[in-house]
């Protein structure tokens, strides 16, 4: 690339025939070129020249066949009449070089012109009839000016025309003058005021590859065969008043990349043929009256970056094969009649940036696998019939900046994980059945909008969220409170203290209940040990007479009256050795009269006599009697244990 200025000594190259200084970074003005009379090719386009171009120099360059001066910020000038003297000119490129005014009628004198490009200037008025004399024209580009009126009569004379672009002007009328231009490959008429119908002849244009007429006032139907002959690349007829069905064969050659038919009145189904059109990059047919099910192959189309079917009457479910749509970035299905669950496989469409399913009949839960969509920035599911919990995995969609789940039947708590979405600036969960407290983690978000209204939330609203809330952000949640908010009840200190008292009371009751059950269980264990299984146990209470301080209980004594603890036998009963838990030992004499006395007599003279004597006796050579235990026909004397000794 060259830079700086062009030397004035260039004019000394008088025999120069070919001069190409295009696509450089020159400064300053173009020097006088009048001495270069042998020039046939002159290209200075996109070289950053400024100032006034030396148009008068062109008077001497009569041999020029190629002139390209476009894309330079020259001073404004009317169409340079000097150009009209260049009779050998076949290509003229003056786009984006600040030409103003009208195109002269005498442009038709340049009869050898094959390419005329005057786009992105300040041209006004009608397209001159003189243009229709340029029968060798193959390219006519006049886009992005302020041209007006209708297409000139006689334009159909340009039978060799392959590229015609008059988009972004103020033209109006019909397209009747284009009916005979059967060699057209590229036709761009968008952003004008054309009306009437599309000529049926367009369906027979066998070289047509590009057809763009959006933002006009066209009516009627598209020709049924349009785009079915050549390797058709794209069609954009958006923002018109077209009706009828979508032509079915525009991807017949498998090269179509864009099908754009936004905001018309098309009806019927999306043709099945487009299910196999794997070359599609953009499919946008939103804002029409299309209906029926979407062809299954559309969901899995491998190169589709945007699928926009919004504002129609489509029905059915999203295909499970959507996981194969690896290029899909934008899925727009809002305002249709789609139903069923959102397939889990959607999480495999890893390029998804925006999911917009607003106002349909979708149901079921959000797939928990949605967290794998780390490019997802917008999730708009409002006004459907979704239910279940909002998955915690949503917090793994780290690029999310807008979540709208309003008007569904989501339940459970707001996931804490949403607080980790650093890019989130809009959160709308209104009109659901969410409960619990508002997660404190949401306070760390830099939200510009939050709407949690009409749920079943309770507790204190985190203070930072009140700063971004509007009047109704938390309305319809009777359990919510906030300090200093006119829309929510006050979380007053009194009520706060009351809550603490209630909490303490509940804790006390809970502890009391636990203790009561524990004591009841211990008592049950104690009583259950004295049951009918042992012949030593009875249903009545023990009668205990103690003569010294006791370090044991009657239960501990009775449990030890087993066969292996017998150390002696006598006529009145057995003697047992008892090892206490405290380490001491006792001797227990069991005296039973059940088999020798009548039932009404439960005590016998021998037992009573021994108790009476030993209880009052105090002597160093006599063993100590601790107590006597009796119940019904069972009588126990509990002595101090003397190894290798007797009781007396």
Q: Tell me, what's the pLDDT at 596?
A: 39
- Inform me whether the pLDDT recorded for 104 exceeds 90: yes
Q: CB neighbours of 126 closer than 8 A, spacing ≥ 6?
A: 147, 148, 149, 150, 152
Query: Residue 602 — pLDDT band, cuts 50, 70, 90?
Result: very low
Prediction pTM value = 0.74
Q: CB neighbours of 571 closer than 8 A, spacing ≥ 6?
A: none
Least confident of 125-129, 373-377, 522-526: 522-526
Structure tokens at 489: 């009840």
Query: Residue 635 — pLDDT band, cuts 50, 70, 90?
Result: confident
- Inform me whether the pLDDT recorded for 515 exceeds 90: no
Q: Tell me, what's the pLDDT at 526?
A: 53
Phi, psi for residue 472 in degrees, rounded to 5: -105, 15
- Inform me whether the pLDDT recorded for 606 exceeds 80: no
Render pLDDT for 269-317 as a digit per residue (tens, 0 to 9).
Answer: 999 999 999 999 999 999 999 999 999 999 999 999 999 999 999 999 9
- Tell me the sheet residues that pair with 147: 125
Q: Tell me, what's the pLDDT at 536?
A: 43
For domain 543-640, give its CATH number from 3.30.450.60, 3.40.309.10, 3.30.200.20, 3.30.470.20.
Answer: 3.30.200.20
Least confident of 271-285, 486-500, 554-568: 486-500
Query: Residue 632 — pLDDT band, cuts 50, 70, 90?
Result: low
Q: Are 213 and 196 in contact (CB under 8 A)?
A: no
Render pLDDT for 419-467 as a digit per residue (tens, 0 to 9).
Answer: 999 999 999 999 999 999 999 999 999 999 999 999 999 999 998 888 7
- Average pLDDT rounded to a whole number, residues 522-535: 48
- Average pLDDT rounded to a whole number, residues 187-193: 98
Give the CA-trace dihedral at 218, 224, 230, 235, to 10 degrees: 40
Q: Tell me, what's the pLDDT at 531?
A: 42
- Inform me whether the pLDDT recorded for 137 exceeds 60: yes
Other Cβ atoms within 10 Å of 431 Cβ, number: 20
SS (H, E, C) 339-371: EEECCHHHHHCCCCCEEECCCCEEEECCCHHHH
**Domain extents for the chain?**
543-640
- Inform me whether the pLDDT recorded for 495 exceeds 60: no
- Inform me whether the pLDDT recorded for 543 exceeds 90: no
- Inform me whether the pLDDT recorded for 128 exceeds 60: yes
Q: Tell me, what's the pLDDT at 501?
A: 46
List b or e across 305-337, with b for residues whose CB sees 16 or more CB atoms inside 10 angstroms. bbbbbbbbebbeebbebbbbbeebbbbbbbbbe
Vertex 293 angle, CA 287 and 299, to 5°: 85
Q: Tell me, what's the pLDDT at 288?
A: 99
Question: What value does the mean pLDDT of the chain take?
Answer: 88
Least confident of 26-35, 84-93, 340-349, 417-426: 26-35
Least confident of 113-127, 224-238, 376-390, 500-514: 500-514
SS3 102: strand
Q: Is 486 annotated as a binding residue?
A: no
Render pLDDT for 2-38 as a digit per residue (tens, 0 to 9).
Answer: 546 776 777 778 889 999 988 887 878 888 888 999 9
Q: Tell me, what's the pLDDT at 559?
A: 79
Phi, psi for residue 494 in degrees, rounded to 5: -65, -50
Least confident of 183-192, 397-406, 572-581: 572-581
Distance of alpha carbon 637 from alpha carbon 632, whole angstroms = 15
Distance of alpha carbon 360 from alpha carbon 376, whole angstroms = 20
Query: Residue 542 — pLDDT band, cuts 50, 70, 90?
Result: low
Q: Tell me, what's the pLDDT at 455?
A: 97
Q: Tell me, what's the pLDDT at 297?
A: 96
- Average pLDDT rounded to a whole number, residues 48-60: 91
Distance of alpha carbon 172 from alpha carbon 181, whole angstroms = 19
Q: Tell me, what's the pLDDT at 574?
A: 84
Of all residues in the chain, the percent with pLDDT exceeding 90 is 67
Query: Residue 530 — pLDDT band, cuts 50, 70, 90?
Result: very low
Distance of alpha carbon 572 from alpha carbon 560, whole angstroms = 19
């Amino acid at each position: 690339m060259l830079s700086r200025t062009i030397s004035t000594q260039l004019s000394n190259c008088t025999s120069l025939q070919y001069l190409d200084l295009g696509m450089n970074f020159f400064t300053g003005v173009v020097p006088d070129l009048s001495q270069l009379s042998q020039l046939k090719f002159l290209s200075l386009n996109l070289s950053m020249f400024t100032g006034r171009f030396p148009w008068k120099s062109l008077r001497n360059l009569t041999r020029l066949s190629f002139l390209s001066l476009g894309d330079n910020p020259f001073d404004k000038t009317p169409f340079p009449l000097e150009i009209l003297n260049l009779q050998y000119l076949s290509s003229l490129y003056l786009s984006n070089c600040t030409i103003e005014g009208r195109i002269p009628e005498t442009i038709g004198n340049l009869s050898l012109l094959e390419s005329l490009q005057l786009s992105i200037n300040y041209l006004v008025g009608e397209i001159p009839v003189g243009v229709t004399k340029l029968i060798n024209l193959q390219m006519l580009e006049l886009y992005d000016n302020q041209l007006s009126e209708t297409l000139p009569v006689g334009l159909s004379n340009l039978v060799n025309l392959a590229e015609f672009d008059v988009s972004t002007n103020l033209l109006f009328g019909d397209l009747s003058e284009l009916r005979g231009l059967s060699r057209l490959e590229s036709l761009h008429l968008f952003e004008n005021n054309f009306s009437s119908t599309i000529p049926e002849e367009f369906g027979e244009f066998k070289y047509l590859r590009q057809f763009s007429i959006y933002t006009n006032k066209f009516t009627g139907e598209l020709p049924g065969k349009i785009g079915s002959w050549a390797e058709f690349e794209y069609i954009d007829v958006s923002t018109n008043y077209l009706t009828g069905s979508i032509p079915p064969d525009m991807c017949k050659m498998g090269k179509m990349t864009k099908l754009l038919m936004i905001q018309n009145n098309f009806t019927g189904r999306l043709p099945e043929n487009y299910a196999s059109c794997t070359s599609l990059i953009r499919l946008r047919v939103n804002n029409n009256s299309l209906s029926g099910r979407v062809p299954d192959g559309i969901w899995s189309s491998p190169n589709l970056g945007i699928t926009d079917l919004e504002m129609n009457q489509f029905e059915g479910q999203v295909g499970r094969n959507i996981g194969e749509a690896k290029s899909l970035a934008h899925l727009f299905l809002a305002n249709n009649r789609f139903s069923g669950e959102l397939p889990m496989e959607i999480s495999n469409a890893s390029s998804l940036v925006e999911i917009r399913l607003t106002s349909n009949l979708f149901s079921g839960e959000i797939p928990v696998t949605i967290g794998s969509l780390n490019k997802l920035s917008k999730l708009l599911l409002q006004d459907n019939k979704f239910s279940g919990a909002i998955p915690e995995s949503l917090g793994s969609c780290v690029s999310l900046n807008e979540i709208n789940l309003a008007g569904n039947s989501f339940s459970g708590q707001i996931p804490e994980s949403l607080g980790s979405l650093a890019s989130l600036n809009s959160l709308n969960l209104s009109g659901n059945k969410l409960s619990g407290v508002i997660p404190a983690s949401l306070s760390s978000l830099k939200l510009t909008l939050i709407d949690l209204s009409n749920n079943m939330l309770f507790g204190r609203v985190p203070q930072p969220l009140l700063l971004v809330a509007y009047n109704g952000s938390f309305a319809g949640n009777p359990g919510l409170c906030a300090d200093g908010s006119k829309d929510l009840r006050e979380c007053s200190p009194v009520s706060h203290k009351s809550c603490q008292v209630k909490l303490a009371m509940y804790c006390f009751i809970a502890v009391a209940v636990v203790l009561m059950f524990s004591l009841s269980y211990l008592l049950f264990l104690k009583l259950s040990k004295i049951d009918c299984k042992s012949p030593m146990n009875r249903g009545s209470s023990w009668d205990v007479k103690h003569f010294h301080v006791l370090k044991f209980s009657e239960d501990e004594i009775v449990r030890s009256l087993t066969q292996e603890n017998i150390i002696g036998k006598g006529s009145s009963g057995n003697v047992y050795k008892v090892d206490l838990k405290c380490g001491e030992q006792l001797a227990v004499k069991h005296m039973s009269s059940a088999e020798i006395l009548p039932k009404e007599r439960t005590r016998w003279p021998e037992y009573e006599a021994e108790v009476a004597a030993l209880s009052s006796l105090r002597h160093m050579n006599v063993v100590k009697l601790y107590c006597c235990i009796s119940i019904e026909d069972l009588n126990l004397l509990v002595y101090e244990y003397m190894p290798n000794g007797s009781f007396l």
